């Protein structure tokens, strides 16, 4: 059974890498796949990832506060959702709680990146594998191997750069909104099919008539849907503030 491990930025990449290496000896009848390790120099990475996604039965998303809305991460989740008849998708919460997840990934049942959460993930993987290891043996192996992964997780989190999201100025945020509007206009012009789809980016891959070779178009639509969601959230927040100000005045 192939397990696609998705990541974006740090510490997501380092944790995905550590998890890929750690899972192989723990859950022995699975094939962990991570783009950072298995895409060779000179290959067309988009095609390689597309084929890997198409042949995946289980997906793990290494999720952080800063990457949960990244278009490429959501695009990969959508590609996995297209295979929901046989695939499972599990967000792994690195520095956030399940209640902190917003946007297209908030509806998926995930696990925290701690001993108990990873243990549940390991047993879920074992249950879904073509050949499973007896639970007693798997539990003993997990207990023996967990300190190795825990050390790698701690090192990845401690070495990750601080998120710049909270340091943006109002001018930078305004510039992002302007850029988002322009991007929406460009994408809508070349991809009118978006009007017939749900604005949930996860559903784009499942509902749009794309083939495995159409990753670029699907990625553009994913970015478009995320942009619409961000603009809607911005407008909603502004309306809430105006309403609160009006209540204060009265």
Compute the distance between CA of residue 91 and CA of residue 112 in angstroms, rounded to an integer: 8
Candidates 239, 223, 228, 250; CA nearest to 72 is: 223
Determine the distance from the C-alpha atom of residue 234 to the mean position of all C-alpha atoms in its chain, rounded to a whole number: 22
Segment 161-217, tens digit of pLDDT = 755 444 445 555 555 555 655 655 555 554 444 444 444 555 554 555 444 445 555
Query: Cis link prior to 47 (omega < 30° from 0)?
Result: no
The CATH code of the domain at 2-159 is 3.40.50.10140
Q: Is the pTM of this model over 0.85?
A: no
Residues 125 and 92: beta-carbon distance below 8 Å:
no
Sketch the domain layout of the chain as residue ranges: 2-159, 168-249
- E-strand stretches of 94-201: 111-112
Segment 93-115, tens digit of pLDDT = 999 999 889 888 888 889 999 99
């Amino acid at each position: 059974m192939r397990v696609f491990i998705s990541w974006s930025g740090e510490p997501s990449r380092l944790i995905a890498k550590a998890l890929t290496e750690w899972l192989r000896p723990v859950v022995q009848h699975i094939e962990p796949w991570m783009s950072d390790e298995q895409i060779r120099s000179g290959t067309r990475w988009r095609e390689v990832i597309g084929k890997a996604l198409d042949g995946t039965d289980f997906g793990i998303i290494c999720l952080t506060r800063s990457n949960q809305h990244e278009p490429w991460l959501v695009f990969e989740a959508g590609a996995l959702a297209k295979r929901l008849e046989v695939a499972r998708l599990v967000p792994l919460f690195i520095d956030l709680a399940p209640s902190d997840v917003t946007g297209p990934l908030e509806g998926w049942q995930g696990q925290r990146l701690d001993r108990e959460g990873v243990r549940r993930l390991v047993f879920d993987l074992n249950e879904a594998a073509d050949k499973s290891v007896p639970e007693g043996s798997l539990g003993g192996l997990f207990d023996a191997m967990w300190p190795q992964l825990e050390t790698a997780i701690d090192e990845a989190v401690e070495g990750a750069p601080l998120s710049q999201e909270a340091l943006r100025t109002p001018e930078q945020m305004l510039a992002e909104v302007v850029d988002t509007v322009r991007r929406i206009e460009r994408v809508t012009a070349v991809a009118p099919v978006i009007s017939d789809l749900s604005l949930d980016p996860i559903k784009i891959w499942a509902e749009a008539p794309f083939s495995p070779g159409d990753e670029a178009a699907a990625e553009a639509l994913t970015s478009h849907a995320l942009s619409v969601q961000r603009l809607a959230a911005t407008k909603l927040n502004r309306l809430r503030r105006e309403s609160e100000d009006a209540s204060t005045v009265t």
